[in-house]
A and B are shown apart, each in its own frame.
Chain A
């Protein structure tokens, strides 16, 4: 990344971080119902990967997917409006935090059943190949998904069909509330499994947006050239607990401290300064992010509630929900 690209990536991460903070605050104010699975701390993976993808590539994410949705073109206002159950939400308030989707920009969904979307990404990659395009598909998932059957089925199918798909594991060390190491037979839950499927398995610093961009660019190029799938394990850390109900008190204080010192925004800022970017310019990016998210919160709050009649639309392609002729 050149300095301008890195500054843009930094600003995008700053917008995502502030949106996550806003989601947290709005939840505490009772304006966001249900739950949220915040991705603060994971921003470099979504932003770095997106910087390496084309607009027509496909992305599939998990219930912890706010950052992917925004990195792939969803605005903070659309996302926050969805969380606040407004008709102006990304999914017309039918999806909620766990299902942020913006198909028009290739963000093909956030799926809340762990591991379910890995075969879908393989299918989207298969479709690209069948249609003769050189699009690729990317599935982002957590370390917990590596112990799900669909993970293994998707990897094998993608490998044996040589599909242009990247499997990107966000290893934040915890499978919900439990250390992934306690429930997994190998130390690298994703990368260590790659040899079993005969595909590359790499590990990258998931808090370094430049390292993620470079790794994804390389593996995406490989997939686009017809050389098949790859597995990238990005090491990172959640700033919050698993979900809003989880204060994450099970995590050792020194571990939390160690990882917070490696905040992906701080790392990117450090890289920018090293490249000679004036601090003031980086500060301006922060200010723009702050203003953008503040405006997004106000705009989302002002959105109307959904018309209750909308509950009976969008089941079928004709727009309706009729089960009888």
Chain B
């Protein structure tokens, strides 16, 4: 294996490692076969595993996720691709009503071990219906696990954990990170779901971020370091299970909290993180909490407009400066 691997290559590598290990892992989705996926995240899978394990589907999101569910209930571990996360709305019944509830409403009779992968988020100028960060949609529904890796190594390690999970996992691959590169992880690298990572240590403020907001938070932290403010950056990696113990431990060291979310402020996951801190960690705080989040508008097309709406390094820096002076 090469010395570096891109986030995009890591997706296919992560799936391939599991397909080699477990014959019940199969893939289905639009354009994932010979074409290798519209984002080239499934390149090579059809060639290695053949058409009986990598299935091109019609543009039928309900059939894709519904069929994945039926297969998962009967002995397979399907990995379904929904091309853009915006299109999760086209199969929302399965994500909101069917997959997360069937175990519960059957009294534990049925297990649904599937992964729904999807390309999430903005930054590429795709306009309002191909750019949303939608992890907060899934976050409203009990019964779904939610993974959103920020690095190639995490893509591979979390893909392994997601595919091996006996519970349904929605796996958000961030479009803005696809070209980023990192060291390839060793064989059998597994990152347990629900383990946040402290990706930068600092004593003055905790930045809690997810997916593409992790590099934004890290850049902001580097900039702030020049001003004498040391930020600790926590990459949540998963929204469910949510690792609040790492967040609370970090707050114990810093006493200041900023969440950095790409999704709109209204209904965003940062609100839940902040509310748990208020419930359980209020005494740890020496300042108000701040949420840097997307504006509550549809994503605009032009770069200048999109930047206005999505959190940027400058916006994070400004929020932290305000808190540091509190």
Residues of A with Cβ closer than 8 Å to B?
Answer: 58, 60, 89-96, 99, 101-104, 108-109, 111, 113, 116-128, 130-131, 137, 149-150, 153-154, 156-157, 160-161, 313-319, 321-325
Contact = CB atoms under 8 A, between A and B. Distances in A.
Contacts of A104: 109
Contacts of B58: 153, 156-157, 160
Interface in B41-98: 52, 55, 57-58, 60, 62-63, 65-76, 78, 93-94, 97-98
B109 A101 contact: yes
B70 A121 contact: yes
A123 B69 contact: yes
30 contacts: A91-B105, A92-B107, A94-B105, A96-B105, A99-B105, A99-B106, A101-B105, A103-B73, A109-B110, A113-B97, A116-B66, A119-B65, A124-B71, A125-B70, A126-B67, A127-B71, A150-B63, A153-B63, A154-B66, A157-B57, A161-B55, A314-B103, A314-B104, A314-B107, A315-B142, A317-B111, A323-B240, A324-B194, A324-B242, A325-B194
Nearest to A112: B97
A113 B70 contact: no
Interface of B: 24, 26, 52, 55, 57-58, 60, 62-63, 65-76, 78, 93-94, 97-98, 100, 102-111, 113, 142-143, 165-167, 194-195, 240-245, 276
A36 to B, nearest CB: 16
Contact of A124 (B65, B70, B109): B70
A105 B251 CA distance: 51
A320 B75 CA distance: 22
A288 B70 CA distance: 37
A103 B112 CA distance: 13
A324 B69 contact: no
Contacts, number: 169
A111 B69 CA distance: 13
A154 B93 CA distance: 14
A160 B56 CA distance: 11
Contacts of A160: 58
A150 B62 CA distance: 6
Contacts of A121: 70
A89 B74 CA distance: 23
A149 B90 CA distance: 10
Contact of A325 (B105, B106, B245): B245
A131 B22 CA distance: 13
Nearest to A151: B62
A55 to B, nearest CB: 14
A94 B74 contact: no
Contact of A94 (B26, B60, B106): B106
B244 to A, nearest CB: 5
Q: Closest 6 A-B residue pairs measured CB to CB?
A: A119-B66, A123-B70, A92-B107, A123-B67, A317-B166, A120-B70
